[in-house]
Amino acid sequence: MSGPGRRTVTDWLRRTVRSTRAWGHAALPGQPGRLPDFLIIGGQRCGTTSLYRYLAAHPQVRPATGKELQFFSLHYGRGERWYRAHFPTTPPGVRSFEASPYYLFHPSVPARVAATLPEARFVALLRDPVERAYSHYLHTRSYGAEPLSFADALDAEEERLARALRSGPETAAAHHALRNHSYLARGRYAEQLDRWFAVLPRERLYVVRSEELAADPAGTYAGILRFLELPPFTPAAFARHTRRVDVGPSQLTPELRARLRAYFAPHNARLADLLGWPDPWPDTAPC
């Protein structure tokens, strides 16, 4: 079996075991667990795994049974007891959380979250959408889910998503396309945040640039802890965590980078207006 195939099977087995244990826990009498106090909602390929581990290391935080429960996106029909069964019963002063990067992007998630977690807080990480798009492509290709070149995949995206969404965003085909082939769509951050701000007070959603977390992890982490009303804490190390290693020559050519910069420019401007930011990703990369 190829490397991507083994990784896919391993991930499937891990998720299956975790879900089976949750069903068993949910079947027991009493409340299976408390709902989370906060969520990392995305975005994908924006440093959520690193932030998840930094927060899980905090002595007053207990994470869910694993990253990417995907309850509000993929498994909402399993019900709240199944979701609760992934969380510990924490003592006073201890918080719980989960991280599912698909939450920021999927259109059904904000309303579901607002109804289920009316007091929770949320953290979103946003990365330069050009770099994020190419990282997303490499990630999808590493799982064997992308046969096209990067340029061809960008050209095919609109038709792929439209075809998959013909029966709505909750079908298996829709989830496959939205998760794997949304290279451009996921970088249109303002329209995603608009959906969240439509159902949540803005003060409950903290937005951070991934580049800030990478350049100043201690300072950025401290700001997130303040937002979550957690006491200061410094992890043993601010290591960067990623599941993908780049191999081969880059397909993000100067010409393709310039094309993507132009595509995302109006969306970045909308984001800057929405959040009161300066230009979040000035065009300083060579083209």
Of the pLDDT bands very low, low, confident and very high (cuts 50, 70, 90), residue 244 is: low
Nearest-5° angle of CA 252, CA 267, CA 105? 85
What integer pLDDT is reported at residue 286 of this predicted model?
Answer: 38
pLDDT at 196: 98
In a domain, 285, yes or no: no
- Give the mean pLDDT of 250-259: 96
Which two tokens mark 180?
A: 């794997």
Which whole number is the average pLDDT over 126-143?
96
Structure confidence at residue 245 as a pLDDT band (50, 70, 90)? low
In a domain, residue 130? The reply is yes
In a domain, 186, yes or no: yes
Show the domain range for 258: 3-237+252-275
Per-residue pLDDT of 17-27, as tens digits, reads 555 665 555 55
pLDDT at 80 over 50: yes
Question: Where do we find the tokens 């945040």?
Answer: 193
Query: What are the residues facing 126 on neighbouring strands?
Result: 209
271 in a structural domain: yes
Question: Model's pTM, two decimal places?
Answer: 0.88
Residue 286 lies in a domain: no
Structure confidence by residue, pLDDT tens digits, 102-113: 999 999 999 999
Output the 3-class SS for 25-47: HHCCCCCCCCCCCEEEEECCCCC
Cβ-based neighbour number of residue 146 at 10 Å: 19
Q: State the CATH number of the domain containing residue 164.
A: 3.40.50.300
The number of folded domains in the chain is: 1
Q: Mean pLDDT, the chain, as a whole number?
A: 89
Segment 6-16 shows an average pLDDT of 50
Instruction: Give the span between the Cα atoms of 158 and 1, in whole angstroms.
Output: 32
Q: Tens digits of per-residue pLDDT, 182-198?
A: 999 999 999 999 999 99
pLDDT at 138 over 50: yes
Work out the pLDDT band at 90, boundaries 50, 70, 90.
confident
**Residue of 169, 189, 147 whose CA lies nearest to 46:** 189
Residue 128 lies in a domain: yes
Q: Cα separation of 268 and 9, whole Å?
A: 37
Whether 244 maps to a domain, the answer reads no
* 284 domain-assigned: no
CA angle (183 as vertex; 181, 187 as ends), nearest 5 = 140
